[in-house]
Amino acid sequence: MKRSVQIIISAILAGLLLWSCKDDKEAEPLGVETGAVKNVSFAEATCDGIAAGEVSTKGICWSTNINPTVSDSKVEAGGGEGKFTASLTGLTENTKYYVRAYVTDGKQTLYGEIKEFTTYKQGEATIAIITSQPYPDKIELKVRALTDGGNAITERGICYALTTEPTTADNVIKSSSPGLGAFDVTISGLAQETDYYIRPYAINSAGIFYGQEVVLTTPRPTPKVITVGHDFLGYGSIMKGELVSIGGLDDVVLEESGIVYSENPDPAIDGASVIKLVRDSKLEAEYEFKVRLTPGVTYYYKAFATNQYGTSYGEEKSFTVRELFNEVIIPGAAGETAPYFNGLNLTATTPPSSQPGVASDFQTAHWTAVNEALLETNAAGRTLEGFRFYFNKDTNQDLIAVFVIYYKSGTSNYQAQFNFKLSVNANGELEFSDLAAKTGNAATIWNALNSKPTEQVKIQAMFDYLTSGPFVLDYISDTSDNTFILYPAINPDSYFRMGLLRVTGLTDVTPW
């Protein structure tokens, strides 16, 4: 009994050892695919195939019957897996053939997909239109003479008409050279929005042979435009377009172009609730519009252009205007005196010209104007050292906007402070009003300019700017220093860039 158990255990161990010595790589199953049929002539063709697995023989078989097998005509391509190509010879002209790839492993034979082709008639030339592009008054073609049927092609070209199956008795454009290969054709002087039937042809000693007919329609010569995209400015948008073509004909006159937008998808120039923005200069390629919009609303817009033949549109794009955030100017606790927003500090050592792209053109111009005005306020001259614009609150805890001019007189430094009442209207916009009586240095500067109205108006320009409002305060994300910009709703180019000094109740702001 003990010996029987030993024999059984030994047999099991031997089997396990024998199993462990086997190659554990699974053999790839036998497989085959039929590739493309190419190089068809009146007596020959080629066919591609792909073989997989332990293939002993692979090849291509063909027949005039729909299910060719290895018992029909065939050509072998050796053993092994991979791609292969076989040449089919001894074919009969003008005959339909069925062809497929096959593989065998000595035990079974598998076939690929059946494909079909027709040999050409001996002596027959073959020709085809490869590419085509219709325009309002012309059609451009690329044509290729594929085979000559064993007889040289002496003439080739295209024929066209307004009815099907045009021949060389209709309109003809000949190639400047005979033989095989590609050539270009332009059919000119065509009517717009018209169907043209076109056939390529080739002539050899066996006769005239036509290729497959194509029907092409010349389009209406309307303009071509691109909807470029948009940027944000305050609580508005800069919507951009580009005029690519005014229509493609010499007599085309561009009537107008611009942007259409709406709160509804697919805005059109004659659509309901659609606003059309028309640009003054019609022929410049790129253009843009700055538009004040409603916070929280989604807008759809397109570029458009119109000529006497019609209107074309660019791709529709859309965006949603960010909601207003007024909590940034909510007064803090009683007794707080720190400014809510510290304006861009422009000083003698950091004038606007040293900060291109930061200060607006308006700020730069105002710096120059204020400096010129100060130099005229007394004989010795006062020089501008800096100015800034910020929000704060007065002793009554009311919001105010403060415009400060820092200047030097002799060797001493002074500042003139001008206060404005700050309020928020029902639209969430900022308004500045009720210029306070000028006192202290502000009165000194102002009174010194009473006799120089040309210079006084340079400082008055800042007051007019603020009281012409309304304004919006918007966050920008092109810097890492929490920058806000004060935008006039009427003319957003005249903005003031403002760095955030402190925050009272400000929630997270999502950049555009």
Do 363 and 475 lie in one domain? The reply is yes
d(CA 142, CA 185): 6
Query: Within its chain, how far is the Cα of 190 from the centroid?
Result: 33
Q: Which amino acid is at 206?
A: A
d(CA 230, CA 161): 47
Q: Among residues 434, 435, 433, 429, which one has the least CA distance to residue 487? A: 429
Q: How many residues does the chain have?
A: 512
Which of the 8 DSSP states describes residue 164? S
Which of the 8 DSSP states describes residue 191? P
Q: Is residue 471 part of a domain?
A: yes
Q: Would you write out the chain's pLDDT as a tens digit for each of its 512 residues?
A: 444 434 444 444 444 444 344 445 556 899 999 999 987 878 888 999 999 999 999 999 999 999 999 999 999 999 999 999 999 999 998 899 999 999 999 899 999 999 999 988 888 888 989 899 998 889 999 999 988 888 899 999 999 999 999 999 999 999 999 999 999 999 999 998 899 999 999 999 989 999 889 999 998 888 989 999 887 665 667 889 999 888 877 778 888 889 999 999 999 998 878 888 887 766 678 888 878 788 788 999 999 999 888 899 999 999 888 666 554 454 444 444 444 444 444 444 445 555 544 566 666 777 778 878 887 776 557 887 777 767 776 777 677 777 788 888 888 888 888 888 878 777 667 788 876 667 788 888 888 888 888 888 887 877 787 787 787 766 554 444 455 666 776 665 555 555 443 333 333 333 33
Which of the 8 DSSP states describes residue 43? S
Q: Is residue 7 part of a domain?
A: no
Q: Is residue 1 part of a domain?
A: no
Do 183 and 246 lie in one domain? The reply is no
Instruction: With H, G, I as helix, E, B as strand and everything else as coil, classify residue 322.
Output: coil
Q: What is the domain range of residue 101?
A: 31-118
136 in Cβ contact with 71 (< 8 Å): no
Q: Tokens standing for 508?
A: 């997270």
Q: Is residue 421 part of a domain?
A: yes
Across 257-282, b (16+ Cβ under 10 Å) vs e yields bbbbbbeeeebeeeeeebebbebeeb
Alpha-carbon Rg for the chain in angstroms: 41
Last residue of a domain, one of 65, 98, 118: 118
Q: Is residue 14 part of a domain?
A: no
For residues 363, 364, 368, 371, the Cα torsion angle rounded to the nearest 10 degrees is 50
Q: Which amino acid is at 463?
A: F
Q: Is residue 259 part of a domain?
A: yes
Do 303 and 420 lie in one domain? The reply is no
Do 336 and 480 lie in one domain? The reply is yes
Do 267 and 152 lie in one domain? The reply is no
- pLDDT tens column, 376-406: 776 557 887 777 767 776 777 677 777 788 8
Do 341 and 429 lie in one domain? The reply is yes
Q: Among residues 118, 109, 116, 113, which one has the least CA distance to residue 101? A: 113
Query: Within its chain, how far is the Cα of 77 from the centroid?
Result: 49
Q: Tokens standing for 297?
A: 């609303």
Q: Provide the sign of the torsion angle of the four alpha carbons 141, 147, 149, 152, taken in this order.
A: positive
Strand partners, 74: 61
CB atoms within 10 A of CB 236: 21
Do 297 and 171 lie in one domain? The reply is no
d(CA 255, CA 308): 7
CATH number of the domain enclosing 286: 2.60.40.10
Q: Tokens standing for 109?
A: 């034979």
d(CA 123, CA 364): 82
The residue whose two tokens read 């066919």 is: 47
Do 287 and 357 lie in one domain? The reply is no
pLDDT value of residue 339: 42
How many domains would you assign to the chain? 4
Do 345 and 257 lie in one domain? The reply is no
- pLDDT tens column, 11-70: 444 444 443 444 455 568 999 999 999 878 788 889 999 999 999 999 999 999 999 999
Do 304 and 350 lie in one domain? The reply is no
pTM recorded for the entire structure: 0.49
Do 139 and 74 lie in one domain? The reply is no
Q: Is residue 490 part of a domain?
A: yes
Last residue of a domain, one of 66, 83, 118: 118
Do 333 and 476 lie in one domain? The reply is yes
pLDDT value of residue 98: 98
Last residue of a domain, one of 320, 343, 361: 320
Q: Is residue 273 part of a domain?
A: yes
d(CA 462, CA 420): 11
Q: Which amino acid is at 156?
A: R
